[in-house]
């Protein structure tokens, strides 16, 4: 055994946000830490989700012993269904994390029943040559853990995502004592979250949000609509508590918000006061000062609950003059346009929309800032350090931070990229080559539609099914349709065999436009999504083919 090397191989999450996944190998045993996805950039047309390429793991499938999950955010669990469809191994995680994974698995038809192994903080499990202790950490989601992985060559600490919150709302403190104990005994390698390495100071406690929220509930004269990430159980609890305090009932709106709230309540992680919940369809009948809404869709996703509320296209909820809308979430880079467009719609309706940086804050980060990173580095005092989770600039800042601390025992810091192999043996640590990595783009959220490269997918898509371009001329100011929609197609056979089919397709687009209200017609993002969805449904029903549909809206 003395000759075996320890390898740490990031398969996603380094140099990018999302797709967090790391393989740790000793001899012929591999454990995989986290299995996340990311959402596509705008240029990945027709792609819904992006997963890590599993080529390396499939090539070494016989060596994989388990997947270990640190917490339940999508960038850490989103690829688990895709992973389990290819590789059947046990999945370890806390109750809440595995419940969120189970919810995702409902959308997929796996051949094998997943093998979930539920763990709790302070528990130690043995998997092959690895002994793994789960350490409770504070983060923006409940039931998050760091991992202390004891290997024959020494201990690896993997922090997962964390911040050091001294006053968490559930009073479950970050278990710094256990981390310090490992530090005293000696840690071979630290893998630590780098997301906020460019933010000085400390990240504010979750409790810092309460004064601002309290003030909003106190002065709101009409309805209060709060949107936060559905996984932010602390924030949902705060809204429920304040609603009870100020005599309001709460309607929970949006599929993910309803689902996660139910899971958290069933596990005892969310305390819902008796009689406070209200069906969304009954909420608008109550006096406006007696109701609050919890709505999903903080990032302005075109068909999310909040986006539909913004353009008055939700069947149960609408925003009216004097209502207060609160976006209690960070604006994820890349989503600014969609979010500000959504805010504009609500402002037009006369709502008071609160978002962005304020003091006291509407939202606090779930990730450690520089001083907390220093604390963890000083407690763990690893021999080797490898920053994880973040873009390259954040990884390098975190690495420089460790180098500046110059604590005794730190031999080397490694700034790695996805696919690099860190190899450790009795002689030390070094970068030792690369393994194949990449992205797998998934269309329609279906495992069957996985394609290895978006370019190949698009070429195949275009060559087999062609492209359909519905062209609509809309008056920017009035939202009026200037003429009947035109449909241009290339490589789509049905377009050439007579006009009946194309006339019907034009009618489908026209019907979608007629069924949309004025505000939707001035929101191109919403309109394109609606037209694409309706036309896709019609074409698949009529032809069983899936051309690439790219609505073009002309401003006239």
Positions marked active-site: 193, 367
Beta pairing class for 29-33 and 21-26: antiparallel
**In sequence order, what DSSP letters do the residues of 220-265 get, joined into one string?**
--S-EEEE--TT-HHHHHHHHHHHHHTT-EEEEESHHHHHHHHHHH
Report the alpha-carbon distance of residue 556 to residue 544 in Å, rounded: 35
Tokens at residue 375, please? 């604390």
Contact assessment for residue 235 and residue 209, using Cβ atoms and an 8 Å cutoff: yes
Please give the Cα distance from 393 to 401 (Å, whole number).
12
Nearest-10 crossing angle of helices 176-185, 370-380: 40
Which DSSP helix (H) or strand (E) runs through 33?
Answer: strand 29-33
Helix (H, G, I), strand (E, B), or coil: what is residue 243?
Answer: helix
Cα dihedral 378→380→385→386 (10° resolution): -110
The label of the residue with tokens 């793991």 reads: 57
Residue of 148, 125, 146, 127 whose CA lies nearest to 25: 127
Q: What is the C-alpha separation between 100 and 90, in angstroms, rounded?
A: 16
Q: Are 391 and 16 in contact (CB under 8 A)?
A: yes
Question: Are 467 and 548 in contact, with CB atoms under 8 Å apart?
Answer: yes
Let me know: does 179 contact 376? Beta carbons within 8 Å: yes
Name residue, tokens 């035109």.
Answer: 486
**Tokens representing 458?**
């698009």
Give φ, ψ of 538 to 5 degrees.
Answer: -65, -45
Question: Which two tokens mark 95?
Answer: 């109750």
Sign of CA dihedral 276, 280, 286, 290: positive
């Amino acid at each position: 055994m003395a000759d075996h090397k320890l390898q740490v191989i990031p398969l996603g999450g380094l140099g990018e946000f999302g797709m967090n996944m790391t393989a740790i190998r000793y001899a012929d045993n591999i454990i995989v830490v986290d299995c996340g996805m990311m959402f596509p950039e705008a240029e990945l047309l027709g792609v819904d989700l992006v997963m890590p390429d599993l080529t390396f793991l499939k090539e070494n499938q016989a060596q994989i012993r388990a997947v270990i999950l640190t917490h339940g955010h999508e960038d850490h669990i989103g690829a688990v269904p895709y992973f389990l469809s290819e590789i059947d191994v046990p999945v370890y995680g806390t109750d809440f994390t595995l419940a969120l994974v189970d919810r995702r698995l409902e959308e997929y038809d796996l051949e094998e029943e997943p093998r979930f192994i539920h763990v709790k903080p302070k528990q130690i499990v043995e998997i092959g040559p690895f002994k793994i202790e789960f350490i409770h950490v504070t983060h923006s989601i409940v039931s998050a853990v760091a991992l202390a992985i004891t290997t024959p060559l020494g201990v690896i600490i993997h922090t997962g995502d964390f911040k050091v919150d001294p006053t968490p709302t559930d009073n479950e403190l970050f278990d710094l004592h256990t981390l310090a104990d490992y530090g005293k005994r000696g840690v071979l390698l630290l893998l630590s979250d780098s997301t906020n390495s460019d933010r000085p100071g400390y990240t504010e406690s979750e409790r810092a949000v309460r004064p601002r929220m309290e003030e909003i509930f106190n002065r709101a004269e009409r309805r209060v609509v709060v949107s936060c990430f559905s996984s932010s159980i602390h924030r949902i609890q705060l809204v429920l508590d304040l609603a009870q305090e100020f005599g309001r009932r709460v309607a929970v709106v949006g599929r993910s918000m309803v689902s996660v709230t139910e899971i958290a309540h069933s596990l005892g992680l969310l305390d819902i006061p008796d009689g406070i919940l209200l069906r969304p369809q009954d909420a608008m009948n109550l006096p406006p000062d007696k109701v609050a809404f919890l709505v999903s869709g903080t990032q302005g996703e075109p068909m999310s609950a909040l986006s539909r509320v913004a353009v008055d296209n939700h069947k149960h909820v609408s925003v009216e003059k004097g209502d207060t809308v609160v976006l209690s979430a960070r604006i994820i880079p890349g989503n600014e346009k969609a979010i500000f467009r959504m805010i504009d719609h609500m402002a037009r309706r006369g709502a008071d929309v609160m978002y962005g940086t304020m003091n006291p804050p509407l939202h606090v980060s779930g990730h450690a800032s520089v001083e907390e990173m220093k604390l963890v580095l000083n407690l763990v005092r690893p021999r080797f350090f490898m920053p994880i989770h973040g873009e390259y600039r954040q990884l390098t800042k975190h690495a420089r931070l460790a180098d500046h601390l110059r604590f005794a025992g730190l031999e080397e810091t490694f700034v790695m990229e996805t696919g690099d192999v860190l190899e450790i043996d009795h002689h030390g640590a070094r970068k030792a080559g690369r393994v194949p990595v990449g992205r797998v783009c998934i269309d329609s959220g279906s495992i069957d539609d996985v394609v290895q490269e978006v370019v190949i997918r698009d070429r195949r898509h275009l060559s087999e099914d062609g492209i359909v371009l519905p062209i609509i001329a809309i008056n920017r100011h009035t939202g009026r349709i200037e003429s009947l929609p035109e449909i241009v197609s290339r490589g789509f056979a049905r377009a050439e065999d007579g006009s009946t089919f194309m006339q019907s397709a034009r009618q489908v687009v026209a019907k979608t436009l007629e069924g949309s209200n004025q505000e939707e017609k001035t929101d191109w993002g919403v309109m394109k999504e609606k037209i694409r969805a309706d036309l896709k449904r019609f074409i698949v029903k009529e032809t069983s083919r899936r051309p690439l549909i790219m609505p073009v809206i002309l401003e006239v």
